[in-house]
Amino acid sequence: MAIVLGDNSYGKAETRVVTVDRDPDGHRLVDLNVTTALSGDLSATHLTGDNGAVLPTDSQKNTVFAFARDGIGEPEDFAARLARHFVQSQPAIHRAVVDIEAYRWDRLAHHSFVRAAGTRTASVTFDGSLRTWSGITDLVVMNTTDSEFWGYPKDPYTTLAETKDRILATALTARWRHTGTCDWAESHAAVVRLLLDTFAGTYSLSLQQTLFAMGRAVLDERPELAEIRLELPNKHHIPVDLSPFGLDNPGVVFHATDRPYGLIAATVTRDGT
C-alpha cells in the first residue's frame, strides 16, 4: 500500500494587528487577530524539503501589517484582500483561507476605549471565487427564568432532577455564510440583534429549541445568508442547598459552574441549499 501526502496547508497563526485612525474629532480603533492558511502545489517541501514554493509565514505576517497601513475597513473586506493577494501573487498557491477575530472596543472619550462584549469574526476562502463567513464568539447571555428542562430519558446513571424553572446561560458562538457581498457592518449588527432578541424572547423547553429559534429568526430576516451555525455551551447555575444552615432558597442563590458543561451545536439552513 502506497503512502501519499494528503490535504495540507501552512500559514501564520494569530498575527495581532492594531490600527488607530487619529481623526481630530475622535480616534477610531481596530484590533484584529489574523490567521492565514495557504494551500496548493506544496508537495515538494513535504517530500524533499524543497522550499521553492513556500512563501515564508513571516512574509504572511508582514503582509498583514503592510495591508493594514492604508486602513483595514470591515474584517470581511480585509480578509478578502489578503486571501486574493496570496493566491494571485504566488503561482504555487491555489487556495487561501484568512480567519479574523475582531476585538470590539467602545469609545469612552476622544481617545479612550473600553473592551466590548463578544468578539466579531470573519473567515474568507479564495480559490478563484470568494466564500465569506461572518460571526461572533464569546457573547455571554442569560435568562434568569422562562426556561425548563424535563421529559428526558432516565437511565441508571441519571441524577439530574427535572425542572420547570431554571437559569439559562450560554456563551454564544455563531458563524453565518453569505451568498454574496453586502454591507458587512449592517448585516453583522442586525444578525447579532436578532440572535439576542430571540434568546431573550423565547420561552425555552430546551437549549436545542432556543438554538433553532435563534437560527430560524436570522434566516427569516436576512436573505443575504445561506446558513448559520450556532454553538451554545450550557453554563450551568445550580441552586445551592441552604437547608443545612436553616435557610430556604427560593431561586435566589446559585453556584455558577464552568465545567463540565453541556455543549449544544447545530446548523440551521435553508431547505435545498
Convert the pLDDT of each residue in 11-23 to its tens digit.
Answer: 999 999 999 999 9
Looking at 128, 149, 183, the residue that finishes a domain is 128
Measured between alpha carbons, how far is 70 from 28 in angstroms, rounded to an integer? 14
Mean pLDDT of the chain: 97
Q: Give the alpha-carbon dihedral of 173, 178, 181, 187, to 10 degrees.
A: -50
Range of the domain at 116: 7-128
Catalytic residues: 12, 57, 236
Tens-digit pLDDT profile for residues 54-92: 999 999 999 999 999 999 999 999 999 999 999 999 999
Beta bridge partners of 119: 103, 137
Under 8 Å between Cβ of 211 and 227: no
Same domain, 98 and 141: no
pLDDT at 38 over 70: yes
Does the pLDDT of residue 273 top 70, yes or no? Answer: no
Are residues 123 and 174 in contact, defined by beta-carbon separation less than 8 angstroms?
Answer: no
Instruction: Decide if 225 is inside a domain.
Output: yes
Provide the percentage of residues in the chain whose pLDDT is more than 70. Answer: 99
For residues 62 and 181, state if they share a domain: no
Same-domain status, 141 and 39: no
Domain end marker among 128, 145, 169: 128
Q: Are residues 78 and 112 in the same domain?
A: yes
Is 1 a domain residue?
A: no
pLDDT digits (tens, 9 = 90+) for 164-176: 999 999 999 999 9
Sign of CA dihedral 154, 258, 170, 122: negative
**What total number of domains does the chain contain?**
2
What's 142's domain CATH number?
A: 3.10.270.10
Supply the pTM of this predicted model. Answer: 0.94
Instruction: State which of 107, 128, 149 marks the end of a domain.
Output: 128
Q: What was the pLDDT predicted at 37?
A: 98
Contact criterion met (CB below 8 Å) for 138 and 173 = yes
Residue 165 lies in a domain: yes
Q: Identify whether residues 122 and 253 lie together within a single domain.
A: no
Average pLDDT over residues 195-210: 98
pLDDT tens for residues 230-267?
999 999 999 999 999 999 999 999 999 999 999 999 99
Q: Same domain, yes or no, for 273 and 141?
A: yes
Radius of gyration of the chain (CA): 23
Q: Are 167 and 222 in the same domain? A: yes
The pLDDT of residue 271: 86
